[in-house]
Amino acid sequence: MATKKKAFTWDMASLSKAYEQGCLAGSMGMLRDQCPYHSEVVAASWEAGWEDGVIQRAQREQPQVEDTLHIA
């Protein structure tokens, strides 16, 4: 019986796109469980982007040190 090669359902372009979409989703405050991907590898790329987006959002929302200083 011949074995079938499993075709990849992803490539670098799709991983990059998933990461960028995840980053945007995280920065907009979407929940992690809203990942639109079912392929394990592509979903992992989206989640990595989502995590980075969440971090970026938190950094944007933190008051900057310069903003808290009052110069008299």
72, part of any domain: no
For residue 7, give both structure tokens.
């075709």
Number of domains in the chain: 1
2, part of any domain: no
CA dist 34 and 1 (Å) reads 41
46, part of any domain: yes
52, part of any domain: yes
CA dist 41 and 5 (Å) reads 17
Residue 50's domain spans which residues? 11-28+37-58
- Top pLDDT among 21 and 9 is at 21
Q: For the whole model, what pTM was predicted? A: 0.75
Q: Is residue 5 scored above 80 in pLDDT?
A: no
Please report the pLDDT score of residue 6 as a whole number.
Answer: 57
Which ranges of 1-72 does DSSP label H, i.e. alpha helix?
Answer: 12-27, 40-61, 65-68
Of the pLDDT bands very low, low, confident and very high (cuts 50, 70, 90), residue 9 is: confident
CA dist 58 and 69 (Å) reads 20
42, part of any domain: yes
